[in-house]
Amino acid sequence: MDAVALQSRAQIEKGSKSFAAAARLFDADTRDSASMLYAWCRYCDDVIDGQVLGFADQAPQSHTPEARLALLHERTTSAYRGEATDDPVMRAFQRVAHRHAIPESCALDLLQGFRMDVEEFRYRTIDETLTYCYHVAGVVGVMMAMVMGVRDEETLDRACDLGLAFQLTNISRDVLEDAAMGRCYLPEDWLLEAGVDTRHLERPSNRDGLARVARRLVGEAEPYYDSALTGLSRLPFRCAWAIAGARGVYRAIGRDVHRLGPAAWDRRVSTSRGQKVRLLMLAGVQAAAARTLGRWRTPAPRVGLWTRPGG
């Protein structure tokens, strides 16, 4: 393994324990490519937030968010042009994008999600929230599927669905963390129905209303998790196992948010090491079953689900 791939693996271990646990199930080449893609996605996120791997005290503060976004756009398009770079993260992304023919439009779709953060977009409806989820997570699912060799639109839609489900789960878990940064991704019309003061989400008086909205959002993620399970049949077994594992871990987080209600934000909800092991074992069974059934069963149609642009 060369230094670029090794550094990318280190970043995924630090940046997302949930995804890192599942990624160990990939074959070596797929794991390296997935890690390099993840490292770039996380790097972009942290640059916009003025953080490095989530730790704000390590971040340079020399540019405005708008300037940082413009720089990311410039460096990303430069990578697609094949221009040399000294930045190890951009060099890794350049390698994985060219190796797996990831369209530049996908990378720019991700950056559009960060533009929504920079411009402080307000999410009035669930469709607007899902649009954001596509840009920061659904398109990542599409790119990850391409790393695994997927090119048919049906399976790419299922990969996008998993990204949407992941992000809906993250939003439900991180409501108060996001509010502390001046952000809210919960649909405004849902908040108003629940009697939440949208100007002061952090107030204790809003906890019960926020919990009702978060539970509703967890429920919204379920059909996307179900759709993603259908897509496993099109993946190589080890990839299907890894993706089923990540699906299980994130879904468990959402279920805990639903179960805990207002207490979900007393501490950051996560899965224990033992839970991850059990969920990864179950994922192996799910992957094998999906691949077996997929040989003769027509996938259930995606009825009523939000669909990615061009999908």
Write down the pLDDT at residue 9: 62
Give the per-residue pLDDT at 138.
98
Residue-wise pLDDT for 151-167, tens only, equals 999 999 999 999 999 99
Mean pLDDT of 255-268: 95
Within this chain, do residues 246 and 127 fall inside the same structural domain, yes or no? yes
Looking at the structure, tell me whether residues 147 and 37 fall in a common domain: no
Q: Is the pLDDT of residue 82 over 90?
A: yes
* 3-state SS record for the chain: CCHHHHHHHHHHHHHCHHHHHHHCCCCHHHHHHHHHHHHHHHHHHHHHHCCECCEHHHCCCCCCHHHHHHHHHHHHHHHHCCCCCCCHHHHHHHHHHHHCCCCHHHHHHHHHHHHHHHCCCCCCCHHHHHHHHHHHHHHHHHHHHHHCCCCCHHHHHHHHHHHHHHHHHHHHHCHHHHHHCCCCCCCHHHHHHCCCCCCCCCCHHHHHHHHHHHHHHHHHHHHHHHHHHHHHHHCCHHHHHHHHHHHHHHHHHHHHHHHHHHHHHCCCCCCCHHHHHHHHHHHHHHHHHHHHHCCCCCCCCCCCCCCCCCC
Share of the chain above pLDDT 70, in %: 90
What pLDDT was estimated at residue 54? 42
User: Domain range spanning residue 78?
Assistant: 1-104
Average pLDDT value for residue range 179-185: 93
The CATH code of the domain that includes 233 is 1.10.600.10
The percent of residues in the chain predicted with pLDDT above 90, rounded, is 74
Same domain? For 239 and 201 the reply is: yes
Same domain, 44 and 14: yes
Does the pLDDT of residue 209 top 90, yes or no? yes
Residues 27 and 148 in one domain: no
Residue 208 shares a structural domain with residue 286? yes
What is the total count of domains within the chain? 2
